[in-house]
């Protein structure tokens, strides 16, 4: 999956790149795509350095909180990973290599636990800032649907400063790994629904579960990892930002993220809100439904962009089956799949203020799961007499009768959005 950043030459600041590494993901970030366009007229006023003084001060708020992180020595981690043996490597991305290791438990020295050790390979301020951000965020934020950071290492040696992060080990890798054809056994439909719920719960906690708000900013399937019980947890917080404060409606940042996931208003203006994560979550739901990536250059031209490919299939309930992941071999609930797509559509409304909050999304996903597990039939809609046989009056009455998620005649509602195409000069680099 490709990652991108946009940078305005006329602004002072360091170029920003992104990473797509996770504790068990082999996704690699690359350069930008010309289809993701940004308004140059707005970039002069909105684009600011990602590493501004205000940004550094805002994350200092988190670092002042009590942390239970363990400080590891580089020697300990070399021993835990057999000197960072290639045979112990479980993933590699823009941040660096990720290795499986074994350490002694602090509570019981006789007990050993598996960990994931992420080693910073990219030098410079960019990599350091992402490392600091992860330590500050995951050092004080803990939730069942966030990967737990156990400790860190920052130590000088003959090669310079070694920066590493130590996480709980997630043996079932990333969701993206399982949606790809590399795994012979596809994710069952029930597991996909549970993953959607877990991911929504993690985002809802970041957005609404604390006295401060954290915007993930790089939500994608490769950053959702699965533990031994197939619980989904969000990972890779190097690009996270604190949400707006002091009555502000958004945070102005350099535009970073992964192509296919980023919200259109964020791409065009650099204005970041929690609703940007909601858009990314909507894209992710279609990944679960279709088994396809948001952008896949290996497919035919008309099928490369996921959202454009699914759109014509949503106008007809009979066509909807054609977008469902063929690897499921028909083993799914069509009703719950339609409802899941409907939730995705609400997340993908072009006007960001009209998108639901993640707590509302979580409620919708939970209701779908409950109705599927209980097998309770969908409430039947009562027919009302038509007072006028004109097309307009019929349409108005039908709008009052249909499920607001599913739409008329059982067809899914698709809020059309078309990003404004403008020409602008951008710099970008390959990670």
Q: How far apart are CA 130 and CA 238, in angstroms?
A: 4
Q: Contacts from 370-376 at CB under 8 Å and sequence distance 24+? A: 371/336, 372/193, 372/333, 372/335, 372/336
Q: Nearest Cα to 21, choosing from 137, 254, 177? A: 177
pLDDT value, residue 352:
94
Q: How far apart are CA 201 and CA 197, in angstroms?
A: 6
The answer to whether 233 is annotated as binding is no
- Is the same domain home to 152 and 218? no
Q: Where are the alpha helices (DSSP H) in 156-305?
A: 175-179, 189-208, 264-269, 274-290
Domain contains 11: yes
- Domain of 17 in residue numbering reads as 3-168
- Is the same domain home to 243 and 131? no
- Is the same domain home to 205 and 329? yes
Residues written for the chain: 431
Domain contains 392: yes
SS3 307: helix
- Is the same domain home to 72 and 149? yes
pLDDT value, residue 163:
87
- Is the same domain home to 216 and 359? yes
- Is the same domain home to 297 and 280? yes
- Is the same domain home to 105 and 195? no
- Is the same domain home to 134 and 199? no
The number of domains in the chain is 2
- Is the same domain home to 47 and 16? yes
For the annotated catalytic residues, the residue numbers are: 218
CATH number at residue 62: 3.30.200.20
Domain contains 426: no
Domain contains 383: no
117, 151, 168 - which closes a domain: 168
- Is the same domain home to 125 and 190? no
| pLDDT tens by residue, 184-232 | 789 999 999 999 999 999 999 999 999 889 999 999 999 999 999 999 9
CATH number at residue 250: 1.10.510.10
168, 201, 236 - which closes a domain: 168
pLDDT value, residue 344:
97
102, 135, 168 - which closes a domain: 168
Domain contains 428: no
Per the CB < 8 A criterion, the answer to whether 372 and 364 are in contact is: no
Domain contains 304: yes
- Is the same domain home to 184 and 115? no
DSSP codes joined into one string, 185-221: SPPPHHHHHHHHHHHHHHHHHHHHSSSS-EE-S---G
pLDDT-flagged residues of the chain (< 70): 1-67, 93-95, 107-109, 122-127, 157-160, 246-249, 374-431
Domain contains 419: no
DSSP codes joined into one string, 344-364: HHHHT-SSGGGSPPHHHHHHH
- Is the same domain home to 138 and 284? no
Domain contains 422: no
């Amino acid at each position: 999956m490709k990652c991108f950043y946009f940078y305005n030459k006329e602004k002072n600041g360091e170029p920003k790149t992104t990473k797509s590494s996770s504790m068990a993901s082999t996704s690699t970030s690359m350069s930008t795509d010309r289809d993701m366009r940004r308004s140059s007229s707005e970039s002069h006023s909105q684009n600011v350095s990602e590493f501004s003084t205000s940004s550094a001060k805002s994350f200092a708020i988190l670092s002042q909180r009590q942390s239970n992180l363990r400080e590891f020595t580089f020697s300990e981690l070399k021993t835990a990973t057999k000197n960072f043996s290639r045979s112990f490597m479980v993933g590699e991305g823009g941040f660096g290599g990720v290795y499986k290791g074994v350490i002694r438990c602090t509570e019981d020295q006789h007990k050993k636990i598996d960990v994931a050790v992420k080693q910073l390979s990219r030098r410079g301020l960019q990599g350091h800032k992402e490392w600091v951000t992860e330590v500050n965020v995951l050092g004080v934020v803990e939730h069942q649907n966030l990967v737990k950071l156990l400790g860190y290492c920052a130590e000088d040696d003959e090669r310079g400063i070694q920066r590493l992060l130590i996480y709980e080990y997630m043996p079932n890798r990333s969701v993206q790994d399982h949606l790809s054809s590399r795994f012979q056994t596809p994710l069952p439909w029930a597991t996909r629904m549970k993953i959607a719920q877990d991911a929504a719960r993690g985002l809802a906690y970041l957005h609404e579960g604390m006295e401060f708000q954290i915007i993930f900013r790089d939500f994608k399937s490769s950053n959702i990892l699965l533990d031994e019980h197939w619980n989904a947890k969000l990972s890779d917080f190097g690009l996270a930002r604190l949400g707006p404060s002091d009555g502000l409606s958004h945070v102005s940042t350099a535009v970073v993220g992964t192509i296919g996931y980023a919200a259109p208003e964020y791409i065009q203006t650099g204005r970041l809100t929690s609703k940007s994560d909601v858009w990314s979550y909507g894209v992710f739901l279609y990944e679960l439904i279709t088994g396809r990536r948001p952008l896949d250059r290996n497919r035919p031209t008309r099928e490369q962009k996921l959202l454009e490919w699914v759109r014509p299939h949503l106008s007809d309930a009979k066509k909807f089956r054609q977008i469902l992941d063929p690897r499921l071999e028909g083993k799914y609930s069509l009703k719950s799949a339609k409802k899941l797509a409907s939730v995705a559509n609400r997340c993908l409304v072009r006007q960001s203020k009209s998108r639901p909050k993640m707590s509302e999304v979580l409620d919708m996903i939970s209701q779908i799961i409950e109705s599927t597990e209980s097998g309770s039939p969908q409430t039947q809609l009562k027919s009302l007499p038509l007072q006028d046989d004109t097309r307009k009056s019929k349409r108005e009455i039908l709008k009052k009768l249909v499920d607001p998620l599913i739409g008329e005649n059982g067809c899914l509602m698709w809020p059309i959005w078309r990003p404004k195409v403008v020409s602008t000069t951008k710099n970008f680099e390959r990670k």
